[in-house]
Structures are given as C-alpha cells and as structure tokens.
Structure 1
Amino acid sequence: MLTMDIATQIFTILKQPDLKYLTQDDFKPLLQELLATHPGLEFLQSTPEFQERYAETVIYRIFYYINRAGNGCLTLRELKRGNLVHAMLHADEEDDINKVLRYSNHALTYRIVDRIFSQVPRKFTSKVEGKMGYEDFVYFILAEEDKSSEPSLEYWLKCIDLDGNGVLTRNEMQFFYEEQLHRMECMAQEPVFFEDILCQIMDMIKPEDDSCITLRDLKGSKLSGNAFNILFNLNKFMAFESRDPFLIRQERENPTLTEWDRFAHREYIRLSMEEDVEDASNGSAEVWDESLEAPF
C-alpha cells in the first residue's frame, strides 16, 4: 500500500475486495467519520436526519462530477482525473468545511421541465413513477446552478436535443425560446425576438458549423451556461441581460469560484439571515408573553 500513489491507496481502501470500482455505498463510512470528527460539522451532530442528508448530498455530488460514465461505478481512472483526492486532503486540513464542500420561483419553462420529467437527460432513481428522488433532485440542482460544468452541459444538451442526434439546431432552440418570449410578453418585458437571440448565442458559442451546435462547441465556450439560461430560465436570462455590477465585481474578485460555489454562498447567507430573523421573532414573542403574564 505504501508504494501506491495516494489516489490508488484511497481507491483500494474504500472499494469492496471483489470489485474494480467504487459505489456510492463505499463512501458512506468516509462521510460518517467526517461528520463525527470534523470541527466544521459539529453543528449537525444534534440533528441526525440532517447528517444523513448531508452525507447523501456530498456522495451524489462526487458521482455527478467524477463518474462521467454515469453508471454509478467510479473507476480508479475517474478518481485520478477528478479533484476529489485534493478536496479530501484539503478537508482534512481546513477547519471551515464551507471552504471545501459546496437552488427560483417558476424560473424554468414548462417545456424544459417536461423534458426533465420525461427523464431524457437522466433516468430517475426514484421508485415512484414520474417523481424525482432526492438523488435525482441533487443532480438536477447541480446541473441548474452550475451550467459551466461538463456534466451540466451534457445534461442540458440532451434536454434541448429533441431528435437525439447529439447536436442543437436552430429549430430546437427556437422551440424552447418561444415560451421564454411568451413569458416576457406576459410580464410586460420588452421582448427579444429569436433572430436576435440566435445571433447572440452563436456569438457566445462560436460553433465550428453555423448550422448547429455540438457538445464540443459548448465545452469550448465559457458562456455556454448563459446560452442555456437564455433558452429556458427567464430569471437568469434577465439577470444576464442586466448584468448586476455587484455580481461582475464578485466574479472579478473571485475568478476561481464556480457558479455552484457562488450559489452555495448566496444560499448560505440567505438561510442564515432567515434564521436570524426567526430567532429575533421568537425572542420578542417570549418577552411579550412574559409581560402579559407579569400582572397576574
């Protein structure tokens, strides 16, 4: 074991002896130990149900990014190609787990939701027909909130690719954008017509062939996620069009952060503020009750 590189050591320790790959279950003991001993996760120890969900979410995220075959069998080659080993070592050294391990109000169009629930981009693991399980939900959120990642680009290409030939055509993009245009008109927003949108998308992606967009084209552009937002997420499309100066500055100050990192940071702050407001409300209610009871 000592002669092996660290990735091979981890792989050998975690996997079942008779298998040549890692499964999701192989990571459970690792997450249990992390939850039990990491100082940054002490706050979860009083809520076992959250500990279990936290562990599930981390494992699903590992497989989402690293198990590129999407078959639930993580190979040594996939482990070495990903950044999991680095993240594990960093988690071992860093007390603040939020520095290591990192969803909108009817934002998505009905057409794209129909494609997701038709299980075109990914088959659901849920045993209930037509419903997402928690693992399916985690995969969807990772794809929706971090459209710059390769798994996300593959996920959304499958959604837009109506004929399943592996490329996006003008007609397919127009089909999804039609609902966006209708929603803009309903909200009294100035409509942006498809011809203009098509030019904008082509300028973003710069495909090798002007007649279609391939997965290779998408992976070659840093703006591919914005192109998908234009087609089916109105909130993010409008945000991109207006380009909030605060967000632009944030991106410049932290260029290494992914879209998922920024999403997780925003949600963490939002939940913290909600908790503070709730605590303040509960506190004031206790004071009020005492003042009512005092004269009696």
Structure 2
Amino acid sequence: MGKLKPHLRLKIDELFLRWLSETDTQEILRENLSLIKKGENIDYTPSSAFQYKSHGSPASPLLRVSSPTTPPCSPIPNSTPSPRSPRRRSTNKLSTSLSKSLTAKLFEDRKAAESNRQPVNVPQFYFPYGRPVDAGVNEKVLEKVSEVFRSLQVIRKHEMDELTLACGCPKYWRMALFHAAGGKDDVPLTEEMFVTMWQRVISECHDDSSRLFRLLVKPKCNYISAEDWYPMIQDVVNSHPGLSFLQDAPEFHSRYIHTVIARIIYVVNRSWTGKITLPEFRRSNILSVLQLLEEEDDINQITDFFSYEHFYVIYCKFWELDSNHDLFIDKKDLSRHNEHALSSRIIDSIFSHGSVLSSNSVQEGLMSYTEFVWFLLSEEDKKTPMSIEYWFRCMDLDGDGYLSMYELQYFYEEQLAKMEGLGIETLPFEDCLCQMLDLVKPLEGDRISLRDLKACKLAYIFFDTFFNLEKYLDHEQRDPFANMRNEETDLAEPSDWEKYAAEEYELLVAEEAGQEQSALDATDVEYQDDFELDDEDDEAIMSIDEAMKKLAASEPPESRTWNHNNNTTIS
C-alpha cells in the first residue's frame, strides 16, 4: 500500500480516535483484554457493537473481519437510515465532527489568514543585463553622439576615437562599435546607422559587460565565437604602441591574433564549447584587460592574453614540433615536446574521442595550433581550474566523471617502466596510490572526482606523478608544502605559466642572438688583396647561396590556413 498523503492521514487518525472513544468499542476492548489475561481465545464473531445501533451510529468498517452469515434485522423506521445507503448519514456525522475538530479549525485559520494576506511587492534583485540607468544619462550620450556627427557628417573606420569617447566606452571598443553599427572598410557610418544601433543596445543592456557582449556577438546570437574577436584584436595590433614593430611583419598578425583569441577562450569559456556566453563573459576580466591596454604602453606587462613574449614562446614551441610546417602536429610531433617528457599513454588520451580535441582533430589525428595553445597552457601551469579540468578529461578514460584506481594504475605503469629503464628506484603502485589519496583526500575513498582535484592545492603534483616523469622527479626533490606556504603570504607571485614563459623567452632570445653572432663571425674574415676566385670557389659560393635560399624557404610561410572547430579560418 502506498504512503498516505498528509491530509488523508489526518482524517484517518481522527476517525480512529472517534471509534476508539465509542462506549461499545471500549467495552469490547476491555472484554478482549481480560480474555487475553486469562489466556483464553478471543471470539472474533461480530457482536452487537459492530452492527448499526438504534441511535444511528454505524459500526466501524475497520473492525469488520468477516461478514455475518445473517443480514441484520430491518431497522425501525425513521430511527436509522437504510443500510443500503449508510454513506449519507455517515458523511453528515463526519462533517459535523470534522467541523469541531482541531484539524478543521487549523484549515479555517489558514484560509482566513490567506484571505487577509496583503500582497508583498518584492523588488527585482536579479538583472541579467545590468541594473537600469537613468534615462537622462542615455539622453546626454545621444546628444554627444549627435554633436560628433554634426562635425564629421560620416565616420570612417580610422575616425572612431571621438565617437567612442562620446559613448563613454574604452578606446578599444571602437571596432566593435563600428562593425555593430554596420560599418565596413568601404562603408562609413552615418548618424542614423549608429544611433539606431546604440539605442537598441542601451535599451536592453545597462552595464559595460552586457553592452560589449552585445556589440561583439552576431545578430540573433547569444554567444561570442572565435571570429567575433578578430576585428577588435586586429585593432590592438594596428594601434598599440607596444606592437608597433609588427607593422613590418604583417605575416605574423594573424598568428598573434589567433593566439590571443585562443587564450581568451581557454580562460573564459568554461563549458568547452568554444562559445562564450554572457555569464562567462561577465565573470572574466576582459573589461579590465582592455582598459589596461589603453593605459599600458608595454604590451608584455599585460600578461593576460596579450603579452607578445608569451605569444613568441608559444609559437616557437609549436614551430619546433611542427616538422612539416603545415600548422598541424600529430602524436609523433607532440611526443617530442620537452624532450619526450609526457608519457605515450597520456598523448594517446589527448587524441582520443571526448577528451580535449575537436571531433575533426581526433578523426584526422592532428592537433591544430589553437589546440596546441590550450595544451601548452595546461601543461606548464597545472594549478589553474581549466588546466585541472583539461588533464582530468584526459585521464578519465571511461568518461564517468571519476578517476578510478584502474585508470590511475594504467597511467602509472608507464611511469614505472621509464624509471626502471633509467635505473631509478621505483615506488610500487600501491604505495603511490596511498600517497595520492592522502594528497587529494577524495570525498569518495575509492575514486577521485574533478571537485576533489580542484579543492586540492597540490593537483599539479598528482598529474605529474602519472604522466610527466621529469616534473615528477623534480617534485620528489622538493618540499611539496613550500609552495603552499608561499600562497599563504600576502606577496603576489607570478603564475607557473608566467615563470615558464619568461624563462623560455630569455633562452630563445639568447639562442637567436648566438646564431646571429655566429653568422657575423663567419662573414668577418680578412682576405688578401691578391685573393682571386677560382672555379671551385665559385661553386662553393653558389652552393652557399642555394643553401641560403633553402633556409629562407624554410622560414614561417607568409600565408597559412587552418581551421578550429570548422569555424575559424586563418589566412
């Protein structure tokens, strides 16, 4: 029998109490109790208490164990209702009883309270597009916009500074404003075009986050895709003083732009869709970074997204692995990263379905440049939430949302084999597992969840233990709690990625300087005045020229195309 509803239980309890308070019921219960005390059997044959009485009280159906063999005598007319329809009499009596009960009184009190309740106006506390501003503020902005157009008539792409300032927007919003209003390279903005767009934006969006989001997205779209960032980042490349040297190398513009876009998506897009939603955009620091671009002339001081030194390190690392320079790398290429530091099993997992690469990349067995950016950021800084999720997805082979003991053993087996091959003392898996469980302290003792790793401040040690032998051995020689003590201090330290990028950049610059010096030393040779070229020397010089031509041909090509999630085309 199913569980009774609360109001039905109240009625049944009340009926039971009414039956128990009947005089006949109490007499029968006393008789039965005395028989039980004497050890005699109780006679369950119906008695007069279970039949309809002359005063009209029906017997409770709860005690009718068996029906009498003989129907009851016909009641005296006008004294009791017909036994064919006891329900009417019973209902009237029950209603009278309920009206006098505490339950009925409770229902009546509630009904009276609801009828006397006054409506409560709860002020709106959630504003998905920002808290509305005073209409007068927007009117003043529109007046300033009209003044700008009265002086310029139409506004072209390179004349957006004054209009952007009139709207009260940061400098690098100008290309978003220009394109949202319908402007193009050969189509200037008119006052009607811009005012129509701006009125629509300020009527729906009331803060900077929602307004910039609306300016960036395509019409009738509720997310920012990778290509939506391109005009804004291109404007940064063209106008920021810290990137002026790139004007002489236009072939690197698209590579820098797509590196910046890849870093933005990596940090902001937490849903792994490549589409940034308004809540994700609002939680990010995009607005503050764009404002900092306007204030800081040294682009390398802006370590979030735009640092050229970071781009240089990423691109050089990719170029070293991309053996055929088609801007795609395969498993073999990726295995050479950091002198084969990663295990082959984690690399296989990276290229597997449902992990961290797009379905097209997995199908073709190739990693794009954008996906390499995400890989390198995750590999060199395993303390960020995105990097933890990146490697968790790679280690979760069955995709059940947990790292089982089997999965941990699967990755640790290759680490053991490597250590044995190098003659390093190994740690059995059982002992390693105990250490890792003590390190992570999972809520469920036999498996580790993503939440457990994000709550653990030493997740980077956990990951390196299972697939990066070089870093694992490095951690074994350090105090694992030293970094935790540094985090507790008030001094803000650079992230692991910033440290890595700074070190690698210095090495790359020193290596390039050494190559240039070697080239200068090779050409700085004193020849005698009577030096004459013979045929062999001519052939040698020609071979050198040919080698230089081949070397020049091996430089990064000026135009390449690659796709990210079948949406972004870079040319």
Shared fold (TM-score, shorter chain, > 0.5): yes
Looking at structure 2, the residues matched to 198 and 46 of structure 1 have their Cα atoms a distance apart, in angstroms, of 55
Corresponding position: 1:20 with 2:222: yes
Q: Map 1:176-255 onto structure 2 (within 5 A).
A: 176-243=411-478, 255=492
Corresponding position: 1:42 with 2:42: no
Q: When you count helix as a share of all residues, which structure comes out higher?
A: 1
Which of 390, 393, 399 in structure 2 is aligned with 1:155?
390
Offset of 1:199 from its aligned partner?
Answer: 2.3
Looking at structure 2, the residues matched to 167 and 70 of structure 1 have their Cα atoms a distance apart, in angstroms, of 18
The residue identity in structure 2 corresponding to 1:163 is D
Corresponding position: 1:73 with 2:275: yes
Q: Which residue of 1 aligns with 2:232?
A: 30
Looking at structure 2, the residues matched to 48 and 195 of structure 1 have their Cα atoms a distance apart, in angstroms, of 55
Q: Which residue of 1 aligns with 2:516?
A: 279
Corresponding position: 1:265 with 2:502: yes
Q: Which residue of 2 aligns with 1:105?
A: 339
Q: TM-score, normalised by structure 1?
A: 0.89
| Larger RCO, structures 1/2 (Cα 8 Å, 6+ apart) | 1
Which of 252, 257, 282 in structure 2 is aligned with 1:55?
257
Is 1:115–1:159's contact at 8 Å kept on the other side of the alignment? yes
Q: Which residue of 1 aligns with 2:357?
A: 123
Looking at structure 2, the residues matched to 295 and 91 of structure 1 have their Cα atoms a distance apart, in angstroms, of 60
Looking at structure 2, the residues matched to 185 and 292 of structure 1 have their Cα atoms a distance apart, in angstroms, of 57
Is 2:351–2:362's contact at 8 Å kept on the other side of the alignment? no
Greater mean alpha carbon deviation, residues 57-66 or residues 42-51 = 42-51
Offset of 1:6 from its aligned partner?
Answer: 2.1
Q: Which residue of 1 aligns with 2:9?
A: none
Q: CA offsets per residue over residues 90-148 of structure 1, 9 Å max, x none?
A: 22222222221346110111111111111432233549711111122112212212211
Is 1:121–1:156's contact at 8 Å kept on the other side of the alignment? no
The residue identity in structure 2 corresponding to 1:22 is I
Offset of 1:195 from its aligned partner?
Answer: 2.3
Distance 1:39 1:130, change over 3 A: same
Offset of 1:78 from its aligned partner?
Answer: 0.6
Distance 1:120 1:174, change over 3 A: same
Is 1:65–1:151's contact at 8 Å kept on the other side of the alignment? yes
Looking at structure 1, the residues matched to 424 and 294 of structure 2 have their Cα atoms a distance apart, in angstroms, of 49
Offset of 1:285 from its aligned partner?
Answer: 1.7
Offset of 1:223 from its aligned partner?
Answer: 0.8
Looking at structure 1, the residues matched to 357 and 461 of structure 2 have their Cα atoms a distance apart, in angstroms, of 25
The residue identity in structure 1 corresponding to 2:290 is M
Moved over 6 A (4+): 251-254
Looking at structure 2, the residues matched to 45 and 230 of structure 1 have their Cα atoms a distance apart, in angstroms, of 45
Q: TM-score, normalised by structure 2?
A: 0.48
Looking at structure 1, the residues matched to 370 and 399 of structure 2 have their Cα atoms a distance apart, in angstroms, of 24
The residue identity in structure 2 corresponding to 1:7 is S
Greater mean alpha carbon deviation, residues 32-41 or residues 122-131 = 122-131
Greater mean alpha carbon deviation, residues 23-32 or residues 78-87 = 78-87
How many residue pairs get matched? 291
Offset of 1:152 from its aligned partner?
Answer: 1.7
Looking at structure 2, the residues matched to 169 and 70 of structure 1 have their Cα atoms a distance apart, in angstroms, of 23
Looking at structure 2, the residues matched to 113 and 235 of structure 1 have their Cα atoms a distance apart, in angstroms, of 16
Unaligned runs of 5+ in 2: 1-166, 169-201, 311-316, 318-337, 532-571
Which of 91, 95, 113 in structure 1 is aligned with 2:297?
95
Distance 1:126 1:256, change over 3 A: same
Q: Give RMSD over aligned pairs.
A: 2.4
Is 1:126–1:136's contact at 8 Å kept on the other side of the alignment? no
The residue identity in structure 1 corresponding to 2:413 is E
Looking at structure 1, the residues matched to 409 and 343 of structure 2 have their Cα atoms a distance apart, in angstroms, of 13
Looking at structure 2, the residues matched to 199 and 255 of structure 1 have their Cα atoms a distance apart, in angstroms, of 33
Greater mean alpha carbon deviation, residues 142-151 or residues 51-60 = 142-151
Distance 1:202 1:59, change over 3 A: same
The residue identity in structure 2 corresponding to 1:197 is C
Offset of 1:255 from its aligned partner?
Answer: 4.0
Looking at structure 2, the residues matched to 81 and 140 of structure 1 have their Cα atoms a distance apart, in angstroms, of 23
Aligned identity (percent) is 41
Q: Which residue of 1 aligns with 2:381?
A: 146
